[in-house]
Amino acid sequence: MWKWESTKADAVFVIVHGAGEHHQRYAWLIEQLNTNGCHVVTGDLPGQGKTRGKRGHISSFTQYMDTITGWYEEAASYRLPVFLLGHSMGGLAVIRTMMEKKLDVHGVILSSPCLGLVNPPSKSKDVAARVLHRVTPTLRAKSGINSALATRNEQVREAYVKDEMRVSKVSIRWYQELVKAMKIANRSTEAFPDVPLLVLQAGDDHIVDKFAVERWFNQVQLSDKSYKEWDQLYHEVFNEPERDEVFRLTKSFIELRK
């Protein structure tokens, strides 16, 4: 767990990264939040970044939820309004955490949350994975994450390819846990608590199924929710050339709900 403190904080942000990456890829966003009066608490999810254990593997999605809860508890210790921000798989993990833990937050922001995949494995591979994950759960295969499909930002693409901490292979158990988490999130929308929600969805997302995200958003019954689809932006909206515009909307959401 890491913390970045603002000299004029009146809120705290917990950032949850996506699959195959780590918290250091959010340096620009952390700087923006600090400059705008928010402490930031974040870290690397199990099996990612600098964490111990087998890379690209989890035994249960609960490991992600427990980790996020720990980060939230640290954020709550500041006695300031707390916001959760999850990107892609991290967005799915935030959804599942809120469903199970009902954390006391002032708002949730989801960036291209993983509620469906644009290119899921073939049916035959999926069937094989369902069998193999019980026999050899740590067996790994390529994740299929392509930096060229994640963002149009050339600098970010190049940095990701050279990043020694990126995870390019995931275990069969990891994939099965991801699929199970998506199914629960989509069929149990009533379990998501009534907290302010902002969804920032890439309009040209080649990784996450944007239509699945929109369906989920329309199904959650909340008194305060907003959905913004950014035309032509790729999956990582906070890394895109238009990220200043994306952050301005995020900032407005925060300011109105502190």
Residue 171 designated active-site: no
Residue 235 designated active-site: yes
Q: How many CB atoms lie within 10 A of CB 39?
A: 22
163: nearest Cα among 150, 174, 147: 147
Helix (H, G, I), strand (E, B) or coil at 40: strand
Q: How many CB atoms lie within 10 A of CB 213?
A: 24
Residue 183, classified by CB atoms within 10 Å of its CB into exposed (0-12), middle (13-18) or buried (19+), is exposed
**How far apart (Å, rounded) are the C-alpha atoms in residues 23 and 49?**
8
Residue 88 designated active-site: yes
Phi, psi for 20 (deg, rounded to 5): 80, -5
Give me the catalytic one of 88, 111, 147, 171.
88
Is the alpha carbon torsion for 50, 102, 89, 78 positive or negative?
negative
- Exposure string for 134-157, b = 16+ CB within 10 A, e = fewer: eeebeebbebebebebbbbbeebb
Polymer length in residues for the chain = 258
Give me the catalytic one of 22, 57, 112, 205.
205
189: nearest Cα among 219, 209, 215: 219
**How far apart (Å, rounded) are the C-alpha atoms in residues 94 and 18?**
11
Catalytic residue numbers read 88, 205, 235
